[in-house]
Amino acid sequence: MDLSAIRAVLFDMDGTLVDSDAAVERAWTVWAGEYGVDPAAVMAVSHGAPAGRTVRIVRPDLTEPQVRAAADRQLELQYDDLSDVVATPGAHDLLAGLTLAWAVVTSADVRLAKARLGAAGIEVPVLVTVDDIRVGKPDPEGYLRGAELLGVAPAQCLVVEDAEVGVTAGRAAGAIVAALKGVDGDLRITSLAELAPLLAP
């Protein structure tokens, strides 16, 4: 795919720039036990999405204040669980050689995003978290906000994702989407290392 028109890259965080899958699964497993939900049912809908969206799906009986409390509890379980959080393969090399503007757009809140990015040794020029928007992925608001902050039209952005809700959000924003882990994006990649030559000046 020709990416010569791309002027900015919008990265998802968890599973894309940061390998935090184990920590995410541990948190949701504990949370599922506390809230009486089958962990497998939670895992089936939680990947890449804001905690509140997942809570609403698996516990539709909860009131909105209860949903917020349950989402807060899920995030709380993750804040200090950083022992095995690292950068994904190829992330540091890609970012070191990237000459385009870039940002991270994540379904995490700002505290968790900064904790995980710090654990992975990644310094981010522009960060958009769930705290900065009204509606999370699969809504495009986060990616539209990221493009706006970088001063680049969404159509000239490459979104890099590893979850279907994120791909949906990127496409709805009007961006080209590169997808990891076999997810169906406009461009399928197996690692971030594959992007480096495609984005070289």
Catalytic site residue from 2, 12, 38, 139: 12
* Cα gap 49→130, rounded to integer Å: 10
Please indicate whether residue 21 is annotated as part of the active site: no
Contact between 149 and 128 (Cβ < 8 Å): yes
Q: What is the DSSP string of 81-135?
A: --TT-EEPTTHHHHHHH--SEEEEE-SS-HHHHHHHHHHTT---SSEE-GGG-SS
Please indicate whether residue 109 is annotated as part of the active site: no
| Nearest one of 42, 31, 46 to 137, comparing CA atoms | 46
Q: Which residue has the tokens 């809570």?
A: 55
β-sheet bridge partners, residue 131: none
Q: Hey, which residues are catalytic here?
A: 12, 14
